[in-house]
Amino acid sequence: MAEALGSAVLGKAVSKLYDRVENVIETTLSFEAALDRLKSTLAALKPVIEEIENSHRELGRQEKETEGLIEQISKGENHVEKYSKLPWWKYLKRNTYAKKLCKLDQELIRFFQLNVQAWDWRNGVETLLSVGDIRSRYALAERNGGRVSCAIPGPPEFTVGLDVPLMELKMQLLKEDVSLLLLTAPPGCGKTTLVKLLGDDKDIKSIYKEDNLFFVTVSKTPNLKVIIQTLFGHKGNDQVLEFQSDEDATNKLDCLLKQIKDPILLILDDVWSESFVKKFEFPIPNYKILVTSRSAFPRFKFKYKLRPLNETDSMTLFRHSANLQDTSSFIPEEDHIKKIVKCCGGFPLAIKVIGSSLCGRSEVFWKRSLTRFSRGHSILHSDEGKFHLHSDEDLLIHLQKSLGPDDDEITKCFMDLGSFPEDQRIRVAALIDMWSELYKHEDGIYAIANLQEIAIRNLASLVVTGKDASEVSSYCAEDFVLQHDLLRELAIYLSSQEPIEQRKRLILDISRNNVPEWWTEQREQPINACLLSITTDEMFLSSNWCNILPTQVEVLVLNFHTKNYILPEFVEKMKELKVLIVTNYGFFPADLDNFQLLGSAPNLKRIRLEKVSVHSLWKTPVQLTSLEKLSLFMCNIGQAFTYGTIQISEVLPKLTEINIDYCNDMVKLPVALCGIVRLKKLSITNCHNLDALPEGIGMLVNLEVLRVRSCTDLPKLPDSIRYLRMLSMLDISDCLKISGLPKHIGEVNELKELHMKGCSQLGRLPESTKDLAKLELVICDEEGKHYWAHIKEFLPNLEIKVAKKEINLNWLFTNQNF
């Protein structure tokens, strides 16, 4: 506390001295000019001291840095006090005090000229170091597919019924002879939540250092190499390691862990295969492994079985989920609540989902739900006081009852989430592309609203990164959705209730080459689904693609884990295809072959590629005559947009939007892109090596949105931006090296929004800024507000918003919040 208050004491001392000087000047008929000069100096220093107080409070500065000056100011106050009491005829004595006050005035000026400049320099260095640290974490996140941390996620705000299990699990884990412990329970019982509480326990923290606590979500189809690379990253090794085999990866992990002298705890969450755990077992002292699984693996000697909640805790959780403490909503009878809760069988996930679905509903809805639940059996059945799970399907059926009808749009959107792999982030931007065609949601606002409703019902978690105030829907490149694997199973279960040829969405998970039976048949399998999703692992051979007739497919989602991926031949038959989403969940960007097949998709409007080497796509130019939007995320771009003598406008004649995110190899924006004169939106974010935009960007005369957000090496905007007469939104947020706006920025006369928070080097605004007559909103830092305050008198409709200083690293974690 003393450290944080150092500069606050300085501020109080200066204010006190200023008040005293002002009082003496007002009440003394004859005073020395020294008092007047000292008053002027103190008045000028007041706002500077306020800034120092704020920065020192945030940075925890030592009060030693200002205590010498505070002592001098206190002496100065005594001099002023004594001066005020001297009679007018004691000239020599008054002159002596006047000289002391002059000396104090000089000391104040000297202190702030030297020390404050030194502080600014130091703060600048620390800021650069912090930015460097954040950038390195960004870079590591790019290489690790976002799994930059293996830290145990924090527990949820509200938990119930886990105090005793936490104590028992901890006691068993800390036994000296326990090196491998299994935490087992049926799905939806709260295993992951219990582990999160364990990681936050003070006893565990006292034994295990933070960077020696490893948390890994394994899932049904784990990628061992990626998991081990992530463990290396957690220990600060951001070098990209290319393991020759799983055995090589395991050997290197063994060497890494043996270098750690302190106790180690590795938590493997959601393990499906007992043999997978063996790959992490090493004879290392003080090394423990905690495994969570829905299966009670027989090999494990030490086990802890997590039981469902009892009736009291179940009621507490249900009341919280249904928000029954809100007296403004309908509160059903106690007996009705108990009947519904009983159907949940003590499963926290079921209680949360069903409770959320009833939150704020009317009496009629509650009674209808009670009738529906009463017709079914409990998820669990009783056997001499012990509860057993019938099957996962029993739980899925009960969860299904909490959803709306199949034709409800929220239910449809929830089912679409099953198109993406388990335990992986689902990009909001990908969902917007998908739903734009499936449900004609051209505006992202509808997609966000649906996702928020899904989150409210506890069917998924929507993670929104920190962003500017006005950007609820326009910028969501870093936002994502997390879904419990059981809820993903529910989505797939609901989608698979009809025969294959009649399904509206066909979702296929293929492990190795274990393909469905109908896949191996020689005849063409007709697919009438609008949405087709295929997920394959690193063992799948692309030559094993099936022979199908997907004539009605509008959205194709391909998820894979290999370095080389071949688009299936049946893509050539997709005449109705409008959206293609290709995501590589492997560690390195993958080459994508057969891209030329897309030339046969006349209606293809949107392509989204993640972690793909884009330079491999256009080996021969492919005309995509209907493509309107192209999104590249974590891709290697290379010379992707160079076609020799062919103009890019001929290859992509209708392209109106390009999004390039986290493409680390892009140093220069390809000049060829400036030839797409129909382009309306150009978004380049988190491309940290981008150091120049071409002057040719002024050719994009129809551009309405230009976003170069978090491009930390970009030093300036090109002068040709003056020719973007249709530009209405410009975003240069967190571009650390941009030192000023272009001189003729005022010629961009349609500009309505300017986002420039985090532009720490940005200086004074050019004179032409006054000509931005249509500018309505500027989002900047506190420093930038000062500059814009002088412009506001020329722009009466301008609103200046100061962005909150926050570092939101939610996007770094893929772990689920259930």
Please say which residue of 400, 425, 442 terminates a domain. Answer: 400
Mean pLDDT of 350-376: 77
pLDDT digits (tens, 9 = 90+) for 215-232: 998 887 788 888 888 888
Residue 166 scores a pLDDT above 50: yes
Which 3 state secondary structure label does DSSP give 56?
helix
Amino acid (one-letter) located at 73: I
| Banded model confidence at residue 401, pLDDT cuts 50, 70, 90 | low
Amino acid (one-letter) located at 439: Y
- Please give the DSSP secondary-structure letter assigned to residue 636: B
Residue 129 scores a pLDDT above 50: no
Which has more confidence, 272 or 707? 707
CA angle 458, 510, 559 (to 5 degrees): 65
In angstroms, rounded to a whole number, what is the distance separating the alpha carbons of residues 118 and 111?
10
Cα atoms in the Cβ-side hemisphere of radius 13 Å centred on 33? 0
Q: What is the value of pTM for the model shown?
A: 0.68
| Banded model confidence at residue 4, pLDDT cuts 50, 70, 90 | very low
| Banded model confidence at residue 382, pLDDT cuts 50, 70, 90 | very low
The answer to whether residues 782 and 703 belong to one domain is yes
Which 3 state secondary structure label does DSSP give 124?
helix
Nearest alpha carbon to residue 757 among 802, 798, 721, 714: 802
Nearest alpha carbon to residue 703 among 685, 725, 718, 688: 725
The answer to whether the beta carbons of residues 370 and 339 sit under 8 Å apart is yes
The answer to whether residues 135 and 185 belong to one domain is no
- DSSP string of 336-380? HHHHHHHHHTT-HHHHHHHHHHHTT--HHHHHHHHHHHHHS--SE
CA angle 783, 786, 788 (to 5 degrees): 110
The answer to whether residues 25 and 131 belong to one domain is yes
The answer to whether residues 380 and 457 belong to one domain is no
The answer to whether the beta carbons of residues 550 and 501 sit under 8 Å apart is no
707 forms bridges with which residues in the sheet?
Answer: 683, 731
The answer to whether the beta carbons of residues 639 and 612 sit under 8 Å apart is no
Share of the chain above pLDDT 70, in %: 73
The answer to whether the beta carbons of residues 181 and 290 sit under 8 Å apart is yes
The answer to whether residues 669 and 775 belong to one domain is yes
The answer to whether the beta carbons of residues 731 and 706 sit under 8 Å apart is yes
Establish if 616 belongs to a structural domain.
no
Residue 138 scores a pLDDT above 60: no
The answer to whether the beta carbons of residues 263 and 208 sit under 8 Å apart is yes
Establish if 619 belongs to a structural domain.
no
Q: What is the CATH number of the domain that holds 237?
A: 3.40.50.300
The answer to whether the beta carbons of residues 435 and 531 sit under 8 Å apart is no
pLDDT at 68: 62
pLDDT digits (tens, 9 = 90+) for 553-562: 999 999 998 8
Cα atoms in the Cβ-side hemisphere of radius 13 Å centred on 531? 26
- Please give the DSSP secondary-structure letter assigned to residue 692: B
Question: Residues 6 or more apart from 443 whose CB is under 8 A from it?
Answer: 473
Tokens 């020294």 sit at which residue?
34
Mean pLDDT of 696-715: 93
Mean pLDDT of 531-551: 83
Count how many domains the chain has. Answer: 5
Mean pLDDT of 709-716: 91
Establish if 587 belongs to a structural domain.
no
CA distances from 811 to 471, 475, 479, 481 (A): 17, 14, 7, 10
Mean pLDDT of 582-611: 90
The answer to whether residues 101 and 176 belong to one domain is no
Longest dimension (CA), the chain: 117
Residue 614: count other Cβ atoms within 10 Å of its Cβ. Answer: 24
Q: Is 547 exposed, middle or buried (0-12, 13-18, 19+ CB in 10 A)?
A: middle
Mean pLDDT of 712-726: 93
Q: Give the strand pairing for 180-184 and 287-293.
A: parallel
Residue 690: left (phi > 0), alpha (psi -120 to 50), or beta? beta
The three-state (H, E, C) secondary structure of 659-671, written as one string: EEECCCCCCECCH
pLDDT digits (tens, 9 = 90+) for 9-32: 666 776 777 776 666 665 654 455
The answer to whether the beta carbons of residues 798 and 776 sit under 8 Å apart is yes
In angstroms, rounded to a whole number, what is the distance separating the alpha carbons of residues 675 and 648?
7
Q: How far is CA 83 from the centre of its chain?
A: 62
In angstroms, rounded to a whole number, what is the distance separating the alpha carbons of residues 475 and 733?
12
Q: What is the CATH number of the domain that holds 665?
A: 3.80.10.10
User: What angle, rounded to 10 degrees, do the helices at 348-358 and 363-375 form?
Assistant: 150
Q: Tell me what the pLDDT averaged over the chain comes to.
A: 79
From 89-103, 324-338, 402-416, 756-770, the region with the lowest mean pLDDT: 89-103
Nearest alpha carbon to residue 279 among 251, 244, 245, 242: 251
Establish if 37 belongs to a structural domain.
yes
- Please give the DSSP secondary-structure letter assigned to residue 153: P
Which has more confidence, 804 or 5? 804
Backbone angles phi, psi at 89, to 5 degrees: -85, -5
CA distances from 142 to 18, 245, 478, 640 (A): 54, 22, 12, 20
Tokens coding 215: 């948390």
The answer to whether the beta carbons of residues 555 and 579 sit under 8 Å apart is yes
The answer to whether residues 668 and 817 belong to one domain is yes
Residue 94 scores a pLDDT above 80: no
pLDDT digits (tens, 9 = 90+) for 35-60: 667 677 777 666 666 666 565 555 55
The answer to whether residues 244 and 383 belong to one domain is no
Which has more confidence, 260 or 3? 260
Mean pLDDT of 783-797: 85
pLDDT digits (tens, 9 = 90+) for 260-272: 889 999 999 989 8
- Tally: H helices and E strands in the chain: 21, 28
Residue 117 scores a pLDDT above 60: no
The answer to whether residues 814 and 675 belong to one domain is yes
Residue 311 scores a pLDDT above 70: yes
Tokens coding 250: 């395991």
- Please give the DSSP secondary-structure letter assigned to residue 637: -
Domain that holds residue 210: 163-305
pLDDT digits (tens, 9 = 90+) for 443-482: 778 888 889 888 877 788 888 876 554 454 456 777 889 8
Mean pLDDT of 689-693: 91
Q: Give the strand pairing for 264-271 and 213-219.
A: parallel
Please say which residue of 365, 400, 435 terminates a domain. Answer: 400
Residue 175 scores a pLDDT above 50: yes
pLDDT at 134: 45
In angstroms, rounded to a whole number, what is the distance separating the alpha carbons of residues 226 and 621?
33
Highest mean pLDDT among 233-237, 365-369, 428-432: 428-432
The answer to whether residues 86 and 184 belong to one domain is no
Which 3 state secondary structure label does DSSP give 520?
helix
Establish if 573 belongs to a structural domain.
no
Mean pLDDT of 226-255: 81
Which spans in 208-310 are helix H?
224-234, 246-258, 274-278
Which 3 state secondary structure label does DSSP give 14?
helix
In angstroms, rounded to a whole number, what is the distance separating the alpha carbons of residues 423 and 420?
9
| Banded model confidence at residue 690, pLDDT cuts 50, 70, 90 | very high
Residue 793 scores a pLDDT above 80: yes
Tokens 């959107």 sit at which residue?
413
The answer to whether the beta carbons of residues 678 and 698 sit under 8 Å apart is no
Establish if 585 belongs to a structural domain.
no
pLDDT at 50: 62
The answer to whether the beta carbons of residues 425 and 600 sit under 8 Å apart is no
Order of all β-strands in the sheet with 213-219: 213-219, 264-271, 287-293, 180-184, 302-305
- DSSP string of 428-477? HHHHHHHHHHHS---SHHHHHHHHHHHHHTTSSEEE-----TT-TTT--T
pLDDT at 483: 85
From 382-391, 512-521, 575-584, the region with the lowest mean pLDDT: 382-391
Establish if 391 belongs to a structural domain.
yes
The answer to whether residues 266 and 339 belong to one domain is no
In angstroms, rounded to a whole number, what is the distance separating the alpha carbons of residues 353 and 334?
19
Nearest alpha carbon to residue 290 among 195, 204, 203: 195
Q: What is the CA radius of gyration of the chain?
A: 32
Question: Residues 6 or more apart from 709 whose CB is under 8 A from it?
Answer: 475, 683, 684, 685, 686, 731, 732, 733, 734, 735, 755
| Banded model confidence at residue 236, pLDDT cuts 50, 70, 90 | low
The three-state (H, E, C) secondary structure of 393-418, written as one string: HHHHHHHHCCCCCCCCHHHHHHHHHH
Establish if 154 belongs to a structural domain.
no
Share of the chain above pLDDT 90, in %: 31
The answer to whether residues 376 and 263 belong to one domain is no
From 193-207, 266-280, 378-392, 504-518, the region with the lowest mean pLDDT: 378-392
In angstroms, rounded to a whole number, what is the distance separating the alpha carbons of residues 633 and 254?
33
Residue 496 scores a pLDDT above 50: yes
